[in-house]
Amino acid sequence: MGRAKVTARLGDQDTMNDPKTALGVADIQKIMACIPHRYPFLLVDRVVEINGDESGIGIKNVTINEPQFTGHFPGQPVFPGVLMIEAMAQTAGVLVVNARGSVDAGVTSVLFTTIDKAKFRKPVVPGDQLRFHLTKITRKRNLWFYRGEARVDGALVAEADLSAMVV
């Protein structure tokens, strides 16, 4: 009886078909439709577990053939922390535009506006997969505030609070 009651409740709410509550995925084509960045500055390969503009996880596969590794650092490549922060901002941009796109066709771009409490915990090297966990803190008019955590194999490697503005 308990299972039937839960099924009926979920069916009544129809949450999985509601675009604001369904967990979604954005592949590279969808990402490029949401934000203007292109190679070599497009730093997110996929966004998964999208929950409207509330949260999502951006994925970056770090490879040795990326241009930053020719100078950062020769013989001991380390993915730059500032690019991890930028990738968090790009992930937030995808979440905002993806969630607002169907509601507001006037969204043309999302701009990175602030970085606070940035910390870098461990080096990231070629072969790692970065996962950028973004969670909305709040929204004020056309500004979104997010908490970002970059993780490799579940370990925290960087974190920051950031904001983005829709224009």
- Residue carrying the six token digits 């915990």: 121
pLDDT tens for each residue of the chain, 167 residues long: 444 433 333 333 333 444 445 589 999 999 999 999 999 999 999 999 999 999 999 999 999 999 999 999 999 999 999 999 999 999 999 999 988 875 566 666 889 999 999 999 999 999 999 999 999 999 999 999 999 999 999 999 999 999 999 88
From first CA to last CA, the distance across the chain in angstroms is: 50
Compute CA 118 distance to the chain's CA centroid, rounded to the nearest angstrom: 16
Determine the pLDDT at residue 167: 85
Determine the pLDDT at residue 165: 93
Determine the pLDDT at residue 22: 58
Question: Does the annotation mark 37 as catalytic?
Answer: no
H/E segment holding residue 46: strand 46-51
- Alpha-carbon gap, residue 114 to 105, rounded angstroms: 25
The structure's pTM equals 0.85
Residue 66: helix, strand or coil by DSSP? coil
| Catalytic option among 72, 107, 120, 142 | 72
Determine the pLDDT at residue 23: 80
18: tokens are: 């509601």
Determine the pLDDT at residue 10: 30
Domains and CATH numbers, the chain: 23-166 (3.10.129.10)
159: tokens are: 């974190």
| Secondary structure, 3-state, 124-154 | CCCCCEEEEEEEEEEEECCEEEEEEEEEECC
